[in-house]
Amino acid sequence: MLGFHLLRSSISSSNLFSNFSAKTHLFSLLSISRLSNTNPRLQMECYSTSSETSRILIRQLFEKDSSTYTYLLADVAHPEKPALLIDPVDKTVDRDLSLVKELGLKLIYAINTHCHADHVTGTGLIKGRVPGVKSIISKESRAKADLFVEHGDKIYFGDLYLEVRATPGHTLGCVTYVTGDGSGHPQPRMAFTGDALLIHGCGRTDFQGGSSSQLYHSIHSQIFTLPNDTLVYPCHDYKGFTVSTVREEKQYNPRLTKDEETFKKIMENLNLPYPKLIDKAVPANLVCGLQEPIGNAA
Amino acid sequence: MLGFHLLRSSISSSNLFSNFSAKTHLFSLLSISRLSNTNPRLQMECYSTSSETSRILIRQLFEKDSSTYTYLLADVAHPEKPALLIDPVDKTVDRDLSLVKELGLKLIYAINTHCHADHVTGTGLIKGRVPGVKSIISKESRAKADLFVEHGDKIYFGDLYLEVRATPGHTLGCVTYVTGDGSGHPQPRMAFTGDALLIHGCGRTDFQGGSSSQLYHSIHSQIFTLPNDTLVYPCHDYKGFTVSTVREEKQYNPRLTKDEETFKKIMENLNLPYPKLIDKAVPANLVCGLQEPIGNAA
């Protein structure tokens, strides 16, 4: 766990910097430089795939076969431009790493929202290609990784961070990563919801420790409590949508707008086919996408 | 041409509002309200799919079969939230109109960057479904539409506008739509490049009046002269990229970084197959995507 640039602290803390001396696991890999950000936050409702500050870079990338979105995030105001990838896919690792290189970023983390059943993660391949990259997944996923996160943790990249919110229900180990709300963080906030909350949908709950009741409560307590203009970036979309907002999902999600009992019935009656890749993907994803993990992924 | 909320004026004008009394075709469909925007522009390089102001809404939408991106733009600070769709696809009209409705937008324009050969435009269907929507395409496309634009025109939606830049070469009538640079407009600017400039690629030049020499000059003179951080939003991507920037394309586009002679040779030797849908799509797209145009599309 050495070199772990991740902060375990309470989500409810309003001042992230006051936490630097508070808890364990803080070994800053990168020097800290902080730019004064005097950009006033407009009070207007936005909806756009945007941030008012220029500190963060975000790139959404799509893998067509599994309809998976991978997200590249970086603190481009930091001298080292530290970056992370959320939910990389094995097939598109070349594309993703090429983009990282072109943008002059320093990739430090390859992160999964959960142990996927529909595609093989690119995490292990990335670790084999970019020395120093650490894989991250939730402790509850029971998958292998360099670093394990729990509800309330903060994953720092430069002066920005992602807050970890446990959102189990699709799988037992599902988490949502949410951008911070401190100075320099993007406004509106962005929630990378994995397969918990999809755009006008949600992940299925019939395997891998799934529970419709748990998913209902996860989304309502951990995602729908975020500000209405929070941008929802899911792990998949099958209709060509790229982003939604908490407001839109609270208003229009055909499953989550129902009461819990109705939601549970909907989820019990989806009659979805057995996932094509599950028998290959899950065993592989339990070890960073590789049957034989490279380096310290084991 | 009545009710044409579009301004024909010089691109080089630095003050867009001074043009309101200058030229023809100005019939404001919507009342004007202007918010004071004191949001300072950060000088930092950004790269992100973002704007610092919250006035604009942008949603990128994907049609998987033809790998086409449709863009929904709106001025959400305007009381009527006037919106436009760039390059809608016939297959995804339901999806797009449903989103427009959910967001409470007033769709006023359905716009094409050119007469497409690989998919059928949704413009005609949209006009049949949403009364009052006007179709727009370039005059040089020789396609039918309610309104025809030329290089230098501005297409207003609320207090925002798109500037029209002629970028022929893929077809004779290709244009690039660029967000304005006045107060309240998004920073960085956004260029909707159609099939002229693609991410690390460009449109083919072997049919529909295409010319590799013309395309080379169009991109260099009309797109690469935009600020480096301008976001490039193309009509297609086949590798899962969603956005690029002028800087990245100037630096890394494998075709456009070459000199003109090399570029022409590359384009002459692509040996691409005859587009599957061209014999259906082009005749349809010449009449808004419908063999029998609805309403005043004829």
Flag whether pLDDT at B7 surpasses 80.
Answer: no
ipTM rounded to 2 decimals: 0.83
**From A39, A40, A51, residue closest to B50, measured CB to CB:** A51
Cα–Cα–Cα angle for B204, B210, B212, nearest 5°? Answer: 70
Flag whether pLDDT at B108 surpasses 80.
Answer: yes
Minimum distance, in Å, between the CA of residue B274 and any CA atom of chain A: 23
A224: domain CATH number?
3.60.15.10
Nearest Cα residue in chain B from A252 = B102
Residues of B in contact with A50 (CB under 8 A): 48-52, 54, 56, 58, 186
Nearest Cα residue in chain B from A69 = B240
Average model confidence (pLDDT) for chain B? 83
Residue in the structure block whose two tokens are 């349809």 = B284
**From A47, A48, A102, residue closest to B248, measured CB to CB:** A102
Beta-bridge mates of residue A244: A232
**pLDDT, tens digit, for every residue of B189-210?**
999 999 999 999 999 999 888 9
Q: Name the more confident of B288 and B136.
A: B136
**A2 burial level (CB within 10 Å; 0-12, 13-18, 19+):** exposed
**From A77, A95, A251, residue closest to B239, measured CB to CB:** A95
Q: Is B55 on the interface with A (CB under 8 A)?
A: yes
Q: Is A292 on the interface with B (CB under 8 A)?
A: no
Q: Is B39 on the interface with A (CB under 8 A)?
A: yes
Q: Where does chain B show beta strands of DSSP type E?
A: 6-8, 56-63, 68-75, 82-86, 106-111, 134-138, 147-149, 153-157, 160-166, 175-179, 190-194, 197-198, 201-202, 231-234, 244-245
Judged by average pLDDT, the poorest of A258-267, B2-11, B244-253 is B2-11
In degrees to the nearest 10, what's the CA dihedral of B284, B290, B293, B297? -70
Nearest CA among B165, B163, B137, B140 for reference residue B151: B165
pLDDT bucket at A277, cuts 50 / 70 / 90: confident
Residue A38: both structure tokens together:
């005097």
Is B295 part of any domain? no
Is A42 part of any domain? no
**pLDDT, tens digit, for every residue of A23-56?**
323 322 322 222 233 233 322 333 334 344 469 9
Distance CA A37, CA A53 (A): 8
pLDDT bucket at A252, cuts 50 / 70 / 90: very high
**From A48, A49, A54, residue closest to B46, measured CB to CB:** A54
Distance CA A147, CA A63 (A): 25
CB B256 within 8 A of CB B220: yes
Structural domain of A215 = 51-274
**From A44, A54, A58, residue closest to B42, measured CB to CB:** A54
Distance CA A266, CA A258 (A): 9
pLDDT bucket at A164, cuts 50 / 70 / 90: very high
Q: Please give the average per-residue pLDDT across A202-218, as a whole number.
A: 95
Distance CA B145, CA A248 (A): 33
Judge: B53–A52 Cβ closer than 8 Å, yes or no: yes
Q: Cβ neighbours of residue A176 under 8 Å, at least 6 residues apart?
A: A113, A164, A165, A167, A191, A192, A193, A194, A196, A197, A222, A223
CA-only gyration radius of chain A, Å: 18
**How far are the Cα atoms of A35, A245, B104 from residue B243, in angstroms, in the given order?**
26, 20, 26
Nearest CA among B265, B204, B268 for reference residue B235: B204
Distance CA B176, CA B73 (A): 15
**From A45, A63, A240, residue closest to B92, measured CB to CB:** A240
Flag whether pLDDT at A175 surpasses 90.
Answer: yes
Is B291 part of any domain? no
Nearest Cα residue in chain A from B94 = A239
Judge: B54–A42 Cβ closer than 8 Å, yes or no: yes
Is A16 part of any domain? no
Distance CA A138, CA A141 (A): 5
Chain pair A-B, CB pairs under 8 angstroms: 134
- CB A294: neighbour CB atoms within 10 A? 16
Judge: A39–B35 Cβ closer than 8 Å, yes or no: no
Q: Please give the average per-residue pLDDT across B9-31, as a whole number.
A: 30
Split into its structural domains, chain B has a count of 1
Is B237 part of any domain? yes
Q: Cβ neighbours of residue A271 under 8 Å, at least 6 residues apart?
A: none
pLDDT bucket at A20, cuts 50 / 70 / 90: very low
Judge: B49–A47 Cβ closer than 8 Å, yes or no: no
Is A288 part of any domain? no
Distance CA A48, CA A263 (A): 29
Q: Is B273 on the interface with A (CB under 8 A)?
A: no
* Percent of chain A residues past pLDDT 90, beyond the cut: 70
Nearest Cα residue in chain A from B249 = A102
Q: Is A264 on the interface with B (CB under 8 A)?
A: no
Residue A283, φ and ψ in degrees, nearest 5: -60, -40
Residues of B in contact with A244 (CB under 8 A): none
Judge: A252–B102 Cβ closer than 8 Å, yes or no: yes
Is A240 part of any domain? yes
- Tell me the three state secondary structure of residue B197: strand
Flag whether pLDDT at A146 surpasses 60.
Answer: yes
Nearest CA among B18, B3, B10, B5 for reference residue B150: B10
Is B2 part of any domain? no
Judged by average pLDDT, the poorest of A247-256, A272-281, B64-73, B111-120 is A272-281
CB B71 within 8 A of CB B61: yes
| Secondary-structure breakdown of chain B: helix, strand, coil percentages, each rounded to the nearest 5 | 25, 25, 50
Residue B288: both structure tokens together:
């808004």
**pLDDT, tens digit, for every residue of B23-56?**
323 322 322 222 233 233 322 333 334 344 469 9
Nearest Cα residue in chain A from B36 = A42
Distance CA B130, CA B113 (A): 21
Confidence (pLDDT) at A269: 95
Average model confidence (pLDDT) for chain A? 83
DSSP secondary structure of A130-145 = STT-EEEEEGGG----
Flag whether pLDDT at A279 surpasses 60.
Answer: yes
pLDDT bucket at B294, cuts 50 / 70 / 90: very low
Q: Is B41 on the interface with A (CB under 8 A)?
A: no
**A217 burial level (CB within 10 Å; 0-12, 13-18, 19+):** middle
**pLDDT, tens digit, for every residue of A65-106?**
999 999 999 999 999 999 999 999 999 999 999 999 999 999
**From B47, B57, B92, residue closest to A48, measured CB to CB:** B57
Residues of A in contact with B46 (CB under 8 A): 54, 57, 76
